Amino acid sequence: MLKLSFSTNKYHLAYSYWLQSAEKNNLVSGEWEQLKVGLAKSFGDHPGFQFFQRCHIGYSLDLTNPKNDNLSVEIRDKKLIREIFQTIFEALFFKRVYQETESYRIKLEKEWVHNLTTSLKYVQEITGMGFDTNVDVIMLHPDLDTGSYIGNKKVEFGLQIIYKNFQTVGLYHEILHVLTEDLMSKVESEKEIWIMHGVIYLAANEELRNRINHTHSYFVPSYVSNYRKTLIAYAQRILPFWIEYMKTDNRNLISFYEKMKQRV
């Protein structure tokens, strides 16, 4: 049985904000910038602060582990890094972000539970796959507008709502990445990776969306604009084959992907 566990991790949330604030203008608030300046003044001369610089972000820290004592940092000043995190946690800005993320988590869980029976039936019919797996969903603030599979059956998730049941659809997109991880770990071709991503997009973001929302349209412009152009391009090239696939009785998403490698 498919089981999702939802949690909000302060370390992961703070680090994700730090990472993405440099990339997304909508995240640059006066409070956040003031906090970053203050941290640089307090800790900037210490080697451990380099861990929070753009070129180092993403390395050597198990952000999904909620226990402070189990932080895995391959940097000599672990104590300093904990102090930096604690300073962030105590900031009024972050406290608000954390509470808003928790509220978002509660709403997301309710939507997931409400849709689970029907959505699981639909996605099994679409893919022909088994969904007997456990997935940890690490919550992000929806302003980060990020959903991705980060390995080890862990998904980070914080997305703005684009349409009804969008969160459920987005979660299944990431779950399909979990289920195809072993297969894709053996793939070296960037084209084949994009083909699989396109197939997953069609299964979740188009087919499941249509079924769960009782609609019948593919590639709605206002929805498509939220995704990378390369992904949408591959998905659109696969669409004619996908329509024929959906007419068959014995569907198998992996077999379909293998065929697409030869045709797209």
Domain match, 179 and 128 both: yes
29 Cβ partners below 8 Å, 6+ apart?
Answer: 93
- The answer to whether 189 touches 195, Cβ cutoff 8 Å, is no
Displacement of CA 64 from its chain's centroid (Å): 14
Show the tokens assigned to 28.
Answer: 């640059």
Whether residue 182 has pLDDT greater than 60: yes
Domain match, 46 and 137 both: no
H or E segment to which residue 150 belongs = strand 146-151
Give the C-alpha separation, 31 to 240, whole Å: 49
Domain match, 134 and 160 both: yes
Domain match, 153 and 246 both: yes
Domain that holds residue 257: 109-263
- Residue 140 falls inside a structural domain: yes
Per-residue pLDDT, 23: 59
For residue 199, how many other CB atoms are within 10 A of its CB? 25
Strands (E), 95-145: 134-139
Which residue has 């929302």 as its token pair?
213
- Residue 2 falls inside a structural domain: no
Q: Which residue has the higher pLDDT, 53 or 207?
A: 207
Mean pLDDT of the chain: 87
Q: What is the pLDDT of residues 23-54, one digit of tens each?
A: 555 555 677 778 878 888 888 777 656 666 55
Q: What is the pLDDT of residues 227-250, one digit of tens each?
A: 899 999 999 999 999 999 999 999
